[in-house]
């Protein structure tokens, strides 16, 4: 907690874009203005902070954006912010606008930057988990995850139609370099036979044996959903290995890629982002510092940024028992 009263706040989006970021920005801007605060948009993340690309926001500045994907504030990587000189320049630009509170919408890399920045200077920072990967501890869901999963499900459902028509094995790679939640949720929801993710060691020979057993039962249509960060190196390596072991099988691979980042956010993501943005402003007004706003069991939950960036969500092994049984 800090006794310093916040009067002007900045909001930025950083790292990879996620559907729902605009809803969060809208909530921050309008909640801040309602409570008599001045709100500034920091364009292009930390790089915009360094370059003084900072714009004052009004209520109408965020009209008609809640349904839009991406982020109207733009986002960019900033190597310069990793340096003390870059952070000092960013701080001086914020001070020139009188900004004494900051809300950062992003992932763990963005939170690391916010934590370092707040420790070096006298500006309290609040984090909002904006990442499609759901790879931050302290919130049941992150902004953008639900939309990304539904995008993946829609695509996999379409692929299933073709797989069924041709009795093919389709291997579908979804996003998730370090976290397999998109693969896990979309795989279960589409009835995939196997789901391969970084958090779970996969016995690839067991997968091969399972496919051979299904072939004997004339079950030739199969789906395998793979996170891009799986231990085998993603969908291409998995496909190569399975083709070597099953040379007569009809196997195709589809990489969904960045389609999962875009699109209009779902109802769940719009509500999640709105609640988080609203409470982020209240956090600054209450004197909170260096916390991430999350939602656990439908209740607001506040996690120190230092813990949010170090901890990861844990995936229960029960998920994989369920997948195996339901795909049998």
Is residue 270 a known part of a binding site? no
Is residue 160 a known part of a binding site? yes
Is residue 305 a known part of a binding site? no
Contact 213, 242 (CB under 8 A): no
The CA-CA-CA angle for residues 154, 156, 157, to 5°, reads 65
Beta bridge partners of 126: 103, 291
203 counts as catalytic? no
Is residue 148 a known part of a binding site? no
Is residue 275 a known part of a binding site? no
Report which DSSP code applies to 265: P
Q: Give residue for tokens 């992150």.
A: 142
Is residue 258 a known part of a binding site? yes
| Catalytic residue, candidates 3, 17, 53, 133 | 133
Is residue 99 a known part of a binding site? no
User: Which sign does the torsion angle of CA 258, 263, 269, 273 carry?
Assistant: positive
How are strands ordered across the β-sheet holding 169-174? 194-196, 222-227, 169-174, 251-255
Q: How far apart are CA 261 and CA 274, in angstroms?
A: 19
Helix (H) / strand (E) element for 39: namely: strand 38-42
Is residue 217 a known part of a binding site? yes
Q: Which of 176, 185, 183 is nearest to 268 (CA)?
A: 185
Is residue 26 a known part of a binding site? yes
Is residue 131 a known part of a binding site? yes
Binding-site residue ranges for Mg(2+) = 108
> Residues marked as binding?
16, 26-30, 77-78, 107-110, 131-133, 160, 168, 175-177, 191-193, 217, 219-221, 228, 252, 258-261
Active site residues: 133
* Binding residue ranges for ATP: 16, 77-78, 107-110
């Amino acid at each position: 907690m800090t006794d310093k009263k916040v009067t002007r706040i900045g909001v930025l989006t950083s790292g990879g874009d996620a559907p729902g970021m605009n809803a969060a920005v809208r909530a921050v801007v309008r909640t801040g203005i309602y409570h008599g605060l001045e709100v500034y948009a920091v364009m292009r993340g930390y790089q915009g902070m360094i370059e003084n690309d900072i714009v004052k926001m009004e209520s109408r500045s965020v009209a008609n954006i809640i349904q839009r994907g991406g982020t109207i504030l733009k986002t960019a990587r900033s190597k310069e912010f990793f340096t003390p000189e870059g952070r000092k320049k960013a701080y001086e630009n914020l001070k020139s606008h009188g900004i004494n509170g900051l809300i950062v919408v992003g992932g763990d890399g963005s939170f690391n930057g916010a934590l370092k920045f707040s420790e070096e200077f006298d500006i309290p920072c609040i984090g909002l988990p904006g990442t499609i990967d759901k790879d931050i501890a302290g919130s049941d869901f992150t902004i953008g995850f639900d939309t990304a999963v539904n995008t993946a499900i829609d695509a996999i459902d379409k692929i299933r139609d073709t797989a069924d028509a041709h009795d093919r094995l389709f291997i579908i790679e979804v996003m998730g370099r370090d976290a397999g939640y998109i693969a896990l949720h979309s795989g279960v929801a589409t009835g995939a036979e196997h789901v391969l993710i970084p958090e779970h060691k996969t016995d690839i020979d067991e997968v091969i044996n399972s496919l051979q057993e299904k072939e004997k039962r004339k079950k030739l249509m199969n789906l395998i959903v793979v996170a891009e960060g799986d231990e085998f190196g993603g969908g291409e390596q998995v496909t190569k290995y399975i083709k070597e072991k099953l040379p007569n099988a009809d196997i195709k691979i589809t990489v969904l890629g960045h389609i999962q980042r875009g699109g209009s956010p779902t109802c769940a993501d719009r509500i999640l982002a709105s609640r988080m943005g609203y409470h982020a402003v209240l956090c600054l007004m209450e004197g909170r510092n260096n916390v991430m706003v999350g939602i656990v069991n439908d209740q607001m939950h506040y996690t120190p940024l230092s813990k949010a960036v170090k901890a990861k969500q844990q995936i229960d092994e029960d998920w994989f028992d369920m997948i195996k049984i339901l795909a049998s």
